[in-house]
Copies of this chain bind each other. A is one copy, B any other.
Amino acid sequence: MAGNSFGRAFVVTSAGESHGPGNVVIIDGCPPGLAISAEEIALELARRRPGQSGLVSPRDEPDRPEFLAGVYEGRTTGTSIAILVRNVDVRTRDYAAIIDKYRPGHADYSYDAKYGTRDPTGGGRASARETVARVAAGAVAKKLIRESFGAQIVGYVKQVGAVVAEVPEPARVTEAEVERFADGTANPVRCPDEAAARRMIALIEAVRADRDSIGGVAELVATGVPAGLGEPVFDKLTADLGKALFSIPAVVGVEYGSGFLAATMRGSEHNDVFVSGSPIATETNRHGGMLGGISTGMPLILRAAVKPTSSIAREQRTVTTDGAPTTIATKGRHDPCLLPRFVPVAEAMVALVLADHWLRWRGQVGRR
């Protein structure tokens, strides 16, 4: 019942399937007067679109956004904003052979169990195609929080398989470093540690050649976030960020600050001491920028674990929709590793949470 909206003050509602006419998103609650253009949306969509490099799905989607409502003469009016991105490169024939089989690792079975029916073409609503709506809305949220309080969100690939990047100062990584190597060429794996990036690329190519897939971890950093965002108890900033990231397809783990490593630490080594300054800060940032679920003014640092792509070209055992044993080998156009295209989607979700909590804070407490 009604799970296609996100946020309470900056509210995003989406609809759309992989092989339907398109994806549409309505943003409700965006402040008036924000300058935003279809080009700005398109730039973010280009970062998540398939076909952008040899490492990702070859599906060829131009992903041209159209504002249907809410923007007048280049600025938001304060009323609801709608953005439509039509699907173009739809090849339903790719799926005909597997329509009556439950793909391992996919939502085919759980959707059937839930609804008793399902759009089987390209995964329908369960396809990662829906993330186009998240990125479109996230582009508006990013602009809003940048203009409102100078926040920047940078995501990057921290790990692919066993290859782990060295990123000594997460809060200093720039989007430029993530998108391009030092020589200016595109960094298709979006990892700012170039040596690790080269190894990740090699690994992904090997995995693909092996008709397999591989998992990984992305790290998200938000700087310029003022202290005081997040709500007590249930709507902690940590909780809403956790939900935001877990809502992205294929995410199986989320942590912030010290994360799971904190399990092995003592309070005396984990606590970050407060130090004088304006504003007050902490000497270290093991708390990932949030205490009691509320931002402290330190950079927010989160990580999300992403499972290996479920669709692989190898033959796997499974059952038909009638429950009979069979085998399957997925032929569609899939990413051998989800991480490179996951980065802009995760950034978008972080932006949506920050925009939402910024407006919530301003509503309750006001500008001081």
A152 at interface by CB-CB < 8 Å: no
Which B residues touch A109, using CB under 8 A? 227, 274, 280, 291, 296
Q: Which of B113, B124, B367 contacts A366 (CB 8 A)?
A: B367
* Stretch in A56-64, A167-175, A177-185, A310-318 touching the partner: A310-318
Q: Are A324 and B276 in contact (CB under 8 A)?
A: yes
Say yes or no: A26 contacts B13, CB within 8 Å: yes
Tell me whether A20 is interfacial, beta carbon within 8 Å: yes
Residues on B with C-beta less than 8 A from A10 are 2
**Bound CA–CA A288/B31 (angstroms):** 27
Quick one: CB contact mask for A260-287 with B, threshold 8 Å, 1 for yes? 1011111110111111111110100001
Q: Is the CB of A21 within 8 A of B68?
A: yes
A49 at the interface (CB under 8 A from B): no
In-complex Cβ contact of A305 among B215, B262, B317 (8 A) = B262
Q: Are B253's CB and A125's CB within 8 A?
A: no
Given A3-B232, A236-B247, decide whether A124 and B294 contact each other with a Cβ distance below 8 A: no
> CA–CA, A240 to B245, complex, Å?
11
Task: Give the chain B neighbours of A13 by CB distance below 8 A.
Answer: 5, 13, 26, 28, 80
Interface residues of A in 2-32 (CB under 8 A from B): 2-6, 8-11, 13-17, 20-24, 26, 28-32
Q: Are B287 and A15 in contact (CB under 8 A)?
A: no
The minimal Cβ–Cβ distance linking A365 to chain B, given in whole angstroms, is 6
| Majority SS at the chain A contact face | mixed
Q: A78: which of B26, B115, B275, B288 is its contact (CB, 8 Å)?
A: B115
A330 to chain B minimum Cβ distance, whole angstroms, is 10
Chain A: how many interface residues by the 8 Å CB criterion? 159
State whether the Cβ of A195 lies closer than 8 Å to any Cβ in chain B.
no
Q: Contacts A80-B15, A116-B33, A242-B254 given; indicate if A23 touches B69 (C-beta within 8 A).
A: yes
**Measured CA separation A215–B272 after assembly (Å):** 15
Which A residues from 95 to 125 make CB contacts under 8 A with B? 102, 104-107, 109-111, 113-119, 121, 124-125
CB pair B264–A161 under 8 Å, yes or no, is: yes
Inter-chain contacts of A319 with B (CB < 8 A): 274-276, 280
Query: How far, in angstroms, from A37 to B332 measured CA to CA in the complex?
Result: 30
Return chain B residues, CB-CB under 8 Å to A201.
none
* With known contacts A5-B28, A26-B26, A323-B278, A262–B68 Cβ distance under 8 A: no
Task: List B contacts of A212 (CB < 8 A).
Answer: 266-268
Q: How far is the CA of A33 from the CA of B70 in the complex (A)?
A: 32
Contact of A43 with B by CB under 8 A: no
Contact A110 B252 (CB under 8 A): no
* A334 closest partner in B (C-beta): B267
Tell whether, in the assembled complex, residue B227 and residue A117 are in contact, meaning their CB atoms are under 8 Å apart. no
Q: A4 — nearest CB in chain B belongs to which residue?
A: B80
* A293 and B247 contact, Cβ closer than 8 Å, known pairs A3-B234, A68-B22, A228-B113: yes
A235 CA to B262 CA, complexed, in Å: 28
**Pairwise interchain contact A253-B259, C-beta atoms closer than 8 A:** yes
> What is the chain B residue whose CB lies nearest that of A317?
B273
Q: A347 at the A/B interface (Cβ < 8 Å)?
A: no
Q: Offer 25 A-B interface pairs, CB within 8 angstroms, sorted by A.
A: A2-B235, A3-B232, A4-B235, A30-B364, A32-B364, A68-B84, A78-B115, A104-B282, A105-B271, A111-B292, A130-B233, A161-B263, A214-B267, A217-B263, A233-B247, A235-B247, A238-B247, A239-B244, A242-B246, A252-B255, A263-B306, A271-B310, A273-B318, A274-B317, A276-B319
